[in-house]
Chain A
Amino acid sequence: MQVFPPSTNTISRVSIFGALFFAGGLLFVVYMIFRSPYVTQAHVVQEQPVPFSHEHHVTALGLDCRYCHTSVEKSRFAGIPATETCMTCHSQIWVNSPMLEPVRRSMRNNEPIRWNRVHDLPDYAYFDHAIHVNKGVGCTSCHGQVDKMPLMRKEEPMTMEWCLACHRQPERHLRPIEDVFNMDWVPPKDQLALGRDLIKKQHIPVDRLTNCYVCHR
């Protein structure tokens, strides 16, 4: 005897294909999620105790990166300015702007300002600012147009994939040493040619840049 109504034929086929598409779609969604700002935190502005504007200090006042990030050329760690660095100016200007109260408090009570880390790599990935800066990787290559950021945000996903992209073909991103801290540097038309020269000039061991030890210990 007939167990199922006619409609089941359609239903059964639809459901089979439906399941396939759903599974596929799900995988795709997961794939996208892991590259989305939700996971990578790219383009996400972090709350900070003081709404510090890189835009203002870099573009308007024309401060050089190294004025605050002093150790960027010497050390793995670029360095976050000590409160006294802020106070060099802010003991004269904006002396009683409420925005800067945390800075003054820090100076008064000798308590550090606790910033929220914007570029936070996993602890098992060891990044060295010095070597990048000294070999011609510009600030903007990783940090984006900081001079256009009223509030600091991470510009790139900073996934391993992303790091490797450059470690595989540094020539696409390298720039002359003198332009490393240049915010307005734009790659020339012959970037690849330029990059290749720089690789030679800087003795960059391209073949070894993807070795595991480069980042993991």
Chain B
Amino acid sequence: MSIQSQMTNGIDLAAVRERLAGQRGPRYWRSLEELAETPEFQAFLEREFPNGAPEVLDPGSRRTFLKLMGASLALAGVSGCTSQPGEKIVPYVRAPEQLIPGKPLFYATAISKSGFPVGVLAESHMGRPTMLEGNERHPDSLGGMDTFTQASVLTLYDPDRSQVVTRRNGKISTWDLFLHEAVRVLNARRSSKGQGVHILTETVTSPSLARQIKAFLEAFPEAVWHQYQPVNRDQARAGAKLAFGRDVTPHYQVAKADVIFALGSDFLAQGPGHLRWARDFASRRETLESMNRLYVVDTTPTITGGMADHRLPAVGHRVADFANFLARELEIKVAEPGGPLLEHEAHWVRALAKDLKKNQGKCLVVTGDDQPAVVHALVHAMNQALGNVGNTVSYTEPVEHGAVDHQESLRALAGDLDAGKVEFLMVLGTNPAYHAPVDLNFAQKLPKAQFSVHLGLYEDETAALCQWHLPETHELEAWGDVLASDGTATIQQPLISPLYDGRSAIELFASLLGEPSRPGLEAGYEIVRETWKARSDLQVGIDFETFWRTAVHEGVVEGTSLKPVEVKLAADLAQAPMPKRPNDDAIEIVFRPDPTIWDGRYANNGWLQELPKPLTKLTWDNAAQVAPALAERLGLNNGDVVELEYEGRKLEAPIWISPGHADRSVTVTLGYGRTRAGRVGNGTGFNAYLLRTAAAPSLGSGVEIRKTGRTYLLAGTDLHRNVMAPNETGEAAAERHLIRVATIDEYRKDPKFAQEMEHVPSPHESLYTEIEGSVDRIDREHGATLPASGSGYAWGMSINLNACMGCGVCVVACQAENNIPIVGKEQVAYGREMQWLDIDRYYQGDLDNPETYHQPRTCMHCENAPCEVVCPVAATVHDDEGINNMVYNRCVGTRYCGNNCPYKVRHFNFFHYSKPKAPSLVVLNNPDVTVRARGVMEKCTYCIQRVNEARSAAQISGNPIRDSDLKTACQSACPTRAIVFGDVNNPESQVSKTKADPRNYGILTDLNTRPRTTYLARLRNPNPEIETESTHGV
């Protein structure tokens, strides 16, 4: 992988500021390069091959990159238009009942991350899961999905997953040998009640697993159960204890809150309940009447910050001061603050306080899990003071079993290892050798265990240091159960029998405890059933089988949600000392989980690696994010490799300048720099854990940043598109009214503000008479397309910019549904990524604290499609329902359509990206979608395969297609329901209603393309006390 220079010399940020200051009216900007017009920048522009094109274009290294990417390249079950050899047809020997060959089945289950699940319906084609849809019954997701869950189906088929039992010396072994060995060791420990026996897990919510661990601990009373995951709730837990004297978990009813203050919290994108919170939040921004208001104070720009009506950046160490100041405003007794607020900050918080008080009981203060305990305590106090408890906040007992302080728990284990006291260590699905705090030197201590075994999906860093590694089953391969954040249980059912010789944790325990003799699936089944048989309280009036069948079928177990508990503020918080503030000129370092690969567990997932990160739009790498101001002072630039020195430890990382990042602070995301992730994940990014100590897991002070003079190729989908755009993109974007924003006052005054920004040509301005029938009239009033009456279905889409948070799950869903290959870092860097959905991120206003707007952009299915007219072979044409069909097998690849598409939504297979790479990936492909060959154009089809299925079903049943019968992949994945798809001809359909909204607008409609996909303009609800003059929208 080549290190290619992004930019050699400095962006003149001062000049940028001036330019921004001198701006009249709105102007959007996308990347700093575009704002800078330095000669160096121009020089860079003129350099041949930015973004390391030569490597891409040299077949030699292309092949190597293909090899590397291989693992995640979808396999071409079909390549558009190549004559196929004689095919075999293989029936069942015994046909499974309820399976209709050729029809997919959906099974309710759940996919969890560190114990907390997202409820899904897994689509199974002839017994192979290919796609996950949200389960609307699941309380945490309500049918929404997050990127991790959506992409987990790729992990299932990942050829790099560990496949057999191995011993440290690399010898392939078997379960029986392992069990024999393990049981021998354990029996030897029985005499000493299991002294020296240790188990290490992540957070456990699974009742079955908990039950077994309990059983195990009963068998070995002296055994110790440790829990560790790098992203944990230690601080929150401590905070609760501080506030209430006991460990309780807060739950938020975001939908009930008129005013929300997120203090250093990314609650829309992180935390077990974030999908639900996001949905509730969006639901309150539908109409003028319901508009809520969001205040955010954070350090690193986040999705939540992007949705805020008012955001203030603050270095991590001052978050507590904000809490303190606000608490005082709310007449809560608190200790002396670490430091004062600046004037504008104080003004801001006072206004906020007023707003909160005005909305007693109808407001909400939330903070992030990684904030110090005292902040949590103060937040609890504020919610109490504001009377939110019982309204927007409620508390329950912790959902997880045996909740402990992860840091302490792991420290203890490390200690015992060091002391050589560990005779039997079982690591279940976590990877401390990689992500333990660096000062514990866990990797060095781990080998000291006399008998160590690792159960995991991958033979990872920890596996390498254990004597045994056991392949774990994917959650789609085994029986299990998990609890949602509110305690609601889901029974996980296997969609496919284990691809490899894997077993789940509960199956492993079963074998160790010698209970039901049968190994594997059946064992898991038995155990889970037993667990739930025991819950007789849930089965009043119904026999177990009925209960079980409904529970499994529904994907949730009714009545398992936890009851709220009464809490009262225990201690006088004035005693709780505020964290001391380090000296102001010290630069702090912030550790955050990566938005796409989290703590590193998804490092080998190509879809997630290639998914542009919500705000930085980087792919395949993490970077050290800094504020423009800091970069300015240190003379840093995107891609500059710096050396971070923190507490004597050094780490090299490329710089990324994040507009809106707090000054004097550098954010690094965890999860990269893996060495044993697999072919996809290895060697991407840098390992931030190497700086992360037990003492400061999320925030440290006194980091040194030194330039190395080297630069590093960062593949940012945003950067490579705008790197050559000094200053124009912003103006152009504004001139062209791609993003349309208004404050609710402006909107009240002029509801049609969005539509008044364009001129839509009338049909008479055309040389042609419109084609009979199929093309629908355009509604001059709304600029929206309204269909000609009685022309059957007319499909259309509407995207609500007020709800879109830019999380990117739609992109992954689309990739999964439509067999979209990943192309690898070099190709992305060169601007050849294949995802059909681009989420454009625009900034507006102040460089240090801009407003952020997201705009998903994909095929608009224009009624007068410019792409169709220029295709020489009619490979892209219109159908009578208004969908722009793309016939891959007819495409000869002139790319004329790509040029003539004003929205630039067409993606071309420059190379054979879909080249078969691993047999296990064959079955991942959606059989309903053609896999595209080399030299073929592709683009969003409105999930035509789903439309077709729905249509033929409807034609057979005789009932017309309703909204509920048909959802596109992006639509069903979207957690905030920002995407609406349906029949524009049906006045009852949700999409027609949305398109009738005065905020509805299409982009570039003055070209008379008549897009079928339109947008709902963004609304802001600023607090007049804070926002004096408005430069937004029109």
Query: Which residues of chain B from 965 to 1007 have a CB within 8 Å of any chain A CB?
Result: none
Q: Is A25 an interface residue (CB 8 A)?
A: no
Known: A207-B880, A213-B948. A122 touches B889 (CB 8 A): yes
Residue on A nearest B958 in the bound complex, by CB: A203
Contact of B91 among A46, A115, A116 (CB under 8 A): A115
A interface SS class: loop
Bound complex: CA A82 to CA B94 (Å): 6
Contact with B along A95-121 (1 / 0, CB 8 A): 000000000001100111111110010
A212 contacts B89, C-beta separation under 8 Å:
no
Q: Is B648 an interface residue (CB 8 A)?
A: no
Q: Chain A contacts of B103 at CB under 8 A? A: 71, 74-76
Which stretch of A7-15, A53-61, A125-133, A166-174 is in the interface?
A125-133
B90 contacts A114, C-beta separation under 8 Å:
yes
A131 contacts B877, C-beta separation under 8 Å:
no
Residue on A nearest B103 in the bound complex, by CB: A75
A188 to chain B, nearest CB (A): 25
Bound complex: CA A120 to CA B87 (Å): 7
Q: Is A161 an interface residue (CB 8 A)?
A: no
B88 contacts A213, C-beta separation under 8 Å:
no
A131 contacts B944, C-beta separation under 8 Å:
no
Q: Chain B contacts of A214 at CB under 8 A? A: 948
Which stretch of B45-53, B76-84, B722-730 is in the interface?
B76-84
Q: Is B142 an interface residue (CB 8 A)?
A: no
Contact of B81 among A74, A124, A126, A213 (CB under 8 A): A124
Known: A75-B100, A115-B88, A117-B86. A124 touches B78 (CB 8 A): yes
B89 contacts A117, C-beta separation under 8 Å:
yes
Q: Is A217 an interface residue (CB 8 A)?
A: yes
Query: Which residues of chain A from 8 to 54 have a CB within 8 Å of any chain B CB?
Result: 46
Q: Chain A contacts of B630 at CB under 8 A? A: none
Known: A83-B93, A84-B94, A208-B792. A124 touches B100 (CB 8 A): no
Contact of B880 among A107, A122, A208 (CB under 8 A): A208
Q: Chain B contacts of A85 at CB under 8 A? A: 95
Contact of B84 among A70, A123, A212 (CB under 8 A): A123
A107 to chain B, nearest CB (A): 7
Tally of chain B residues near chain A (CB < 8 A): 44
B101 contacts A71, C-beta separation under 8 Å:
yes
Q: Chain B contacts of A76 at CB under 8 A? A: 102-103
Q: Chain A contacts of B86 at CB under 8 A? A: 46, 116-117, 120
Contact of A212 among B100, B887, B930, B956 (CB under 8 A): B887
Q: Is A90 an interface residue (CB 8 A)?
A: no
Bound complex: CA A47 to CA B773 (Å): 49
Q: Is A77 an interface residue (CB 8 A)?
A: yes
B880 contacts A211, C-beta separation under 8 Å:
yes
Contact with A along B917-939 (1 / 0, CB 8 A): 00000000000111000000000
Bound complex: CA A213 to CA B882 (Å): 11
Bound complex: CA A112 to CA B92 (Å): 6
A99 to chain B, nearest CB (A): 18
Contact of A122 among B84, B929, B944 (CB under 8 A): B84
A124 contacts B888, C-beta separation under 8 Å:
yes
B91 contacts A77, C-beta separation under 8 Å:
no
Contact of A134 among B88, B91, B887, B956 (CB under 8 A): B956
Q: Is A216 an interface residue (CB 8 A)?
A: yes
Q: Chain A contacts of B792 at CB under 8 A? A: 205, 208
B interface SS class: loop
Q: Is B947 an interface residue (CB 8 A)?
A: yes
Bound complex: CA A37 to CA B132 (Å): 43
Q: Chain B contacts of A63 at CB under 8 A? A: none
Contact with A along B769-803 (1 / 0, CB 8 A): 00001000000000000000000100000000000
Q: Chain B contacts of A123 at CB under 8 A? A: 77-78, 84, 930
A116 contacts B88, C-beta separation under 8 Å:
yes
Chain B CB count within 10 A is highest, among A70, A81, A111, A217, for A217
Q: Is A80 an interface residue (CB 8 A)?
A: yes
Chain B CB count within 10 A is highest, among A46, A79, A203, A216, for A216
A126 contacts B948, C-beta separation under 8 Å:
yes
Q: Chain A contacts of B88 at CB under 8 A? A: 114-117
Q: Chain B contacts of A112 at CB under 8 A? A: 90-93
Bound complex: CA A79 to CA B880 (Å): 31
Q: Is A135 an interface residue (CB 8 A)?
A: yes
Q: Chain A contacts of B956 at CB under 8 A? A: 130-131, 134
Q: Chain A contacts of B80 at CB under 8 A? A: 124
Bound complex: CA A131 to CA B330 (Å): 67
Q: Chain B contacts of A122 at CB under 8 A? A: 81, 83-84, 889
Query: Which residues of chain B from 724 to 775 have a CB within 8 Å of any chain A CB?
Result: 773
Q: Is B687 an interface residue (CB 8 A)?
A: no
Contact with A along B832-864 (1 / 0, CB 8 A): 000000000000000000000000000000000
Q: Chain A contacts of B952 at CB under 8 A? A: 128, 130-131
Bound complex: CA A70 to CA B93 (Å): 15
Q: Chain A contacts of B89 at CB under 8 A? A: 80, 114-117
A217 contacts B948, C-beta separation under 8 Å:
yes
Q: Is B883 an interface residue (CB 8 A)?
A: yes
Q: Is B945 an interface residue (CB 8 A)?
A: yes
A39 to chain B, nearest CB (A): 9
A80 contacts B91, C-beta separation under 8 Å:
yes
A211 contacts B885, C-beta separation under 8 Å:
yes
B929 contacts A217, C-beta separation under 8 Å:
yes
B103 to chain A, nearest CB (A): 5
A12 to chain B, nearest CB (A): 39
Query: Which residues of chain A from 182 to 213 have a CB within 8 Å of any chain B CB?
Result: 203, 205, 207-208, 211-213
B94 contacts A79, C-beta separation under 8 Å:
no
Bound complex: CA A156 to CA B785 (Å): 43
Q: Chain B contacts of A116 at CB under 8 A? A: 86-89
Q: Chain B contacts of A205 at CB under 8 A? A: 792, 880
Q: Is B955 an interface residue (CB 8 A)?
A: yes
B93 contacts A84, C-beta separation under 8 Å:
yes
Query: Which residues of chain B from 883 to 898 have a CB within 8 Å of any chain A CB?
Result: 883, 885, 887-890
Contact of B889 among A75, A107, A113, A216 (CB under 8 A): A216
Bound complex: CA A131 to CA B955 (Å): 8
B868 to chain A, nearest CB (A): 11
Bound complex: CA A122 to CA B84 (Å): 7
Contact of B92 among A77, A83, A124, A135 (CB under 8 A): A83
Q: Chain B contacts of A77 at CB under 8 A? A: 101-102
B909 to chain A, nearest CB (A): 14
Q: Chain B contacts of A207 at CB under 8 A? A: 773, 880
B443 to chain A, nearest CB (A): 46
Q: Chain A contacts of B929 at CB under 8 A? A: 217
Bound complex: CA A70 to CA B792 (Å): 32
Contact of A83 among B83, B94, B888 (CB under 8 A): B94
Q: Chain B contacts of A124 at CB under 8 A? A: 78, 80-81, 888-889, 930
Q: Chain B contacts of A81 at CB under 8 A? A: 91
Q: Is B879 an interface residue (CB 8 A)?
A: yes
Known: A71-B101, A217-B929. A120 touches B84 (CB 8 A): yes
Chain B CB count within 10 A is highest, among A82, A120, A123, A211, for A123
Contact of A117 among B87, B102, B773 (CB under 8 A): B87
Bound complex: CA A214 to CA B958 (Å): 18
Bound complex: CA A22 to CA B52 (Å): 53
Q: Chain B contacts of A79 at CB under 8 A? A: 91, 100-102
Bound complex: CA A217 to CA B83 (Å): 18
**What are 16 A-B contacts defined by CB distance under 8 Å?**
A75-B101, A75-B102, A80-B89, A82-B91, A82-B92, A84-B95, A115-B89, A115-B90, A115-B91, A116-B88, A116-B89, A120-B87, A126-B928, A131-B956, A203-B958, A208-B879
For the complex of A and B, list the 8 residue pairs with the smallest distance between their C-beta atoms, beginning with the closest: A77-B102, A123-B78, A75-B102, A211-B879, A80-B91, A82-B95, A82-B92, A124-B889
- Given A117-B87, A135-B955: 20 more A-B contacts, CB < 8 Å: A74-B103, A79-B100, A80-B89, A80-B91, A81-B91, A83-B93, A85-B95, A114-B89, A116-B86, A120-B84, A123-B77, A124-B888, A124-B930, A126-B928, A203-B958, A207-B880, A211-B879, A216-B930, A217-B928, A217-B944
